[in-house]
Structure 1
Amino acid sequence: MRVRREWPGAMELDVTTEDGQARALAYPALVGRPEPGDAVLLNTTALAMGLGTGGYAMVVAVPDRLPQDPRGPGHLVKARYTPLQATVLGADEQDSPFHDVLRDADSVDGMPVIVADLHSALPAILCGLYGTTPPGAPDRPAEAGEGGAEGEGGHRSSGRPPRVAYVMLDGGALPAWFSMSSARLRQTGWLCGVVTAGQSFGGDVEAVTPHTGLLAARHVLGAEVAIVTQGPGNLGGGTRWGFSGVSAGEAINAAAVLGGRPVAALRVSEGDLRERHIGVSHHSLTAYGRVALAPAKVAVPVLPGDFGRRVAEQSRPLGARHELVEVPVDGLVEALRGSPVRLSTMGRGLDEDLAYFLASAAAGRLAASLLSSGS
């Protein structure tokens, strides 16, 4: 019926079906550009299941008009062997202009790598990292092979905000285009770029694995800090191991083996209705306590009252492998209110689950302290 709005890589539509009106989402690079009056083929699974993260009908095709020829310079196939598999140019493949840079790359040079469970942590981490002095217009793009940090171990001496890249894992949405937040953060200069790793695609840079995703963030985008999370829409089965966020532990390992400084953001909630996520979520305890084999700095937010004591107590077992760092949260509420994107997790906003966003921002604050100290 009409185009509601657009952001890079995605179009939100109003459509009419035999069951009534609905919102739909189209990725023009995959299916072409729908226009009002077009018949569209829809996948309505999200509508039928009432999914909370983007309950859209997904446009599969515009049957009367084919998309552009998908052939391009790239040879990486992502979302492989699905009807909407995408061919992209990977930074680490032979035809890439960055292949020579990444071919022998084996280190991210002490870059802080902040790891979180949920995609919704991304803007909150940035709020904590930048504090009350967020970046303005984005810097110039880094040249291939240009490192972003100044000095050994990522130590920075200038007063400008650090260059931050987002490395998106494939545990949630596969297209980076689904995330309005990352698109807006890129536009405002809060991110210097998005790297899509594994089966995810649609970022500024494509990578085969989280490892090459981190290397590309550092050596292609010139990032001084990387944030690693899944895309929107994580999967969880309510069991100890059956959730897509186990990838957070694997990301800690990848950061460490590449010579990065991993920082773990705890998933903390005071507003979740599920007991397993109240205080420190079992996702964090499993991913960091069992899956992550390399040590990381775990940001433990200093929250007030009994709830703060509960978070500290639940975090304590992680100290057997990791360094627990208490992070004051004074000033972080103000920083969070300055976010250029809406803060929301599982449908809860900043004031409905403040502890969640403070814990994420605390990890950003901890990473900022690593940059300033070089330690």
Structure 2
Amino acid sequence: MPFSSAPPLPSRIRWRRGRVTETGRRGRDSVQLTVDVPDEGRLPALAYPSLVGIPQVGDEVLLNTTALAQGLGTGGVALVVAVPDRLPPDPEGPGHLVKARYTPLQVTVSGVDEQGTEHHGLMTEADDLGGMPVVVADLHSALPAILIGMLATDPDLKVAYVMTDGGALPAAFSRTLDALSKSFVGVITVGQAFGGDLEAVTVHTGLLAARHVLGADLAIVTQGPGNLGTGTPWGFSGVAAGEACNAVTVLGGAAIGALRISDADERTRHRGVSHHSLTAFGRVALGGVTLVAPRGLTSELGGQVDQDLAGQPARNPVVWVDTDGLDDALVLSPVPLRTMGRGYPEERAYFLAAAAAGRFAALQVPVPEAS
């Protein structure tokens, strides 16, 4: 049967046209909008200027409303696909790495590891992290707490963030990065994620760029906002945290696991130490990872954490870290601390565990010798 005469397939995207009625908050590469859509009213929308230009009030825009219709917490907005009557200029300069590959929205970026670019020579020779501590976490919500733990321990440390592609692909979607960008020496987006200060093809080259291009003392690896989980043993995007630990190990870094701990989550699989942490670190991270448990938990939760970690393989040492002063630092967080709809102190154990991992990593950085 000729392709042209085949029956139409149902779309997997909800397409809408609308007109911008308001513009709102601007991020480093995002702008919030209100868009009037016929028969559906005014919808919250988000545009990425580097992809579609800057929509103005009165512009007609093409929207993808799939996530909004599903009522998703993270990502539950309409996304601007195009401003048809005012297209942005063509990209200029180098860049042949294609991300969001072979989708209608694929983009080209200049990679830190691609040929003909400023850092290609350095990246060709880079092969070792030199023992750099790297904290790996399951959820994006752990990022600010890990950073707080690091900088509360030593405010002069240079910290890089390596954002993987298990959640949101555009770094610009993260309000956390908007607020914390000045606290990082740089953000590196790897895999299909894009929009960082540097782009890299893999977690491996992202880590090497953190060390050798940005000169980081420490790195944090976690996915962008929007974890995907199915309630099955292996069907969650955080499995990639274990693979990230393997990348750290093979490159000569020190992998440190930020445990997902909770006594507020109603789901049994996430109480105490989440099965996400136990699976990713205990079964996927075959090179070993230091697991950091925070002191200062309630006696009941502390006992459960101790019991949950008792079955870890010998390659995963468990370290209990003092948390004096970390609660005060978390209270002063420059961004709201929230995970799974719950904030601090409701999820104190979760954020305290992340901050403790950051503190432990900071203490592993060698102190420079006095000249």
Task: Determine if the TM-score, normalized by the shorter chain, exceeds 0.5.
Answer: yes
Give the equivalent residue in structure 1 for 2:117: 96
CA positional deviation for 1:70: 3.0
CA positional deviation for 1:247: 0.6
Note if 1:181 corresponds to 2:181. Answer: no
Question: Once the two structures are superposed, what CA deviation does each residue of 1:25-72 show, in whole Å capped at 9, x if it has no partner?
Answer: 100111111000111111111111111113111111111111221354
Contact 1:14 1:24 in 2 (8 A): yes
Counterpart of 2:87 in 1: which secondary structure? coil
Question: Once the two structures are superposed, what CA deviation does each residue of 1:324-367 show, in whole Å capped at 9, x if it has no partner?
Answer: 10112222110111211111111111122111101101100110
Q: 329, 335, 344: which one pairs with 1:335?
A: 329
| Whole-Å separation in 2 of the counterparts to 1:207 and 1:183 | 20
| Whole-Å separation in 2 of the counterparts to 1:251 and 1:317 | 21
Letter in 2 for 1:80: R
Give the equivalent residue in structure 2 for 1:77: 98
Question: Once the two structures are superposed, what CA deviation does each residue of 1:154-190 show, in whole Å capped at 9, x if it has no partner?
Answer: xxxxxxx11000000000000111111112211xx31
Q: 238, 262, 270: which one pairs with 1:277?
A: 270
CA positional deviation for 1:261: 0.7
Q: 324, 328, 348: which one pairs with 1:354?
A: 348
| Whole-Å separation in 2 of the counterparts to 1:162 and 1:297 | 20
Contact 1:41 1:62 in 2 (8 A): yes
Counterpart of 1:252 in 2: which secondary structure? helix
Counterpart of 1:318 in 2: which secondary structure? coil
Give the equivalent residue in structure 1 for 2:18: none
Give the fraction of aligned pairs with identical amino acids, expressed as a percent: 61
CA positional deviation for 1:317: 1.6
| Whole-Å separation in 2 of the counterparts to 1:38 and 1:345 | 35
Bigger mean CA offset, 171-180 vs 16-25: 16-25
User: Considering only CA atoms, is the larger Rg found in Structure 1 or Structure 2?
Assistant: 2
**Greater RCO (CA < 8 Å, at least 6 residues apart):** 1
Note if 1:234 corresponds to 2:255. Answer: no
| Whole-Å separation in 1 of the counterparts to 2:109 and 2:184 | 21
Q: 49, 61, 64: which one pairs with 1:40?
A: 61
| Whole-Å separation in 1 of the counterparts to 2:129 and 2:105 | 33
Give the equivalent residue in structure 1 for 2:161: 166
Question: What is the aligned length?
Answer: 346
| Whole-Å separation in 2 of the counterparts to 1:183 and 1:191 | 11
Counterpart of 2:310 in 1: which secondary structure? helix
Gaps of 5+ in 1: 135-160
Note if 1:10 corresponds to 2:10. Answer: no
Contact 1:43 1:58 in 2 (8 A): yes
- RMSD between aligned residues: 1.4
Pairing of 1:118-157 with structure 2 (within 5 A): 118-131=139-152, 134=155
Letter in 2 for 1:68: P
| Whole-Å separation in 1 of the counterparts to 2:308 and 2:45 | 41
CA positional deviation for 1:304: 2.1
Pairing of 1:206-221 with structure 2 (within 5 A): 206-221=199-214
Q: 192, 198, 211: which one pairs with 1:199?
A: 192
TM-score (ref. length: structure 2): 0.91
| Whole-Å separation in 1 of the counterparts to 2:48 and 2:84 | 15
Note if 1:297 corresponds to 2:297. Answer: no
CA positional deviation for 1:311: 1.1
| Whole-Å separation in 1 of the counterparts to 2:184 and 2:331 | 18
Contact 2:228 2:237 in 1 (8 A): yes
Letter in 2 for 1:197: V
| Whole-Å separation in 1 of the counterparts to 2:217 and 2:366 | 12
Question: Once the two structures are superposed, what CA deviation does each residue of 1:87-114 show, in whole Å capped at 9, x if it has no partner?
Answer: 0000001121000000021001111000
Contact 2:68 2:75 in 1 (8 A): no
| Whole-Å separation in 1 of the counterparts to 2:174 and 2:44 | 16
Question: Once the two structures are superposed, what CA deviation does each residue of 1:185-216 show, in whole Å capped at 9, x if it has no partner?
Answer: 11xx3111100000111000000000000001
Question: Once the two structures are superposed, what CA deviation does each residue of 1:259-293 show, in whole Å capped at 9, x if it has no partner?
Answer: 11111110111222211111111100100011000
Give the equivalent residue in structure 1 for 2:17: none
Counterpart of 2:269 in 1: which secondary structure? helix
TM-score (ref. length: structure 1): 0.90
Q: 300, 320, 326: which one pairs with 2:320?
A: 326
Gaps of 5+ in 2: 1-20
Question: Once the two structures are superposed, what CA deviation does each residue of 1:197-256 show, in whole Å capped at 9, x if it has no partner?
Answer: 001110000000000000011111111100000010011111111111011000111001
Give the equivalent residue in structure 1 for 2:246: 253
| Whole-Å separation in 2 of the counterparts to 1:4 and 1:273 | 35
| Whole-Å separation in 2 of the counterparts to 1:71 and 1:240 | 45
Contact 1:53 1:346 in 2 (8 A): no
| Whole-Å separation in 1 of the counterparts to 2:80 and 2:124 | 37
Bigger mean CA offset, 328-337 vs 6-15: 328-337
| Whole-Å separation in 1 of the counterparts to 2:367 and 2:221 | 22
Contact 1:23 1:57 in 2 (8 A): yes
Counterpart of 2:242 in 1: which secondary structure? helix
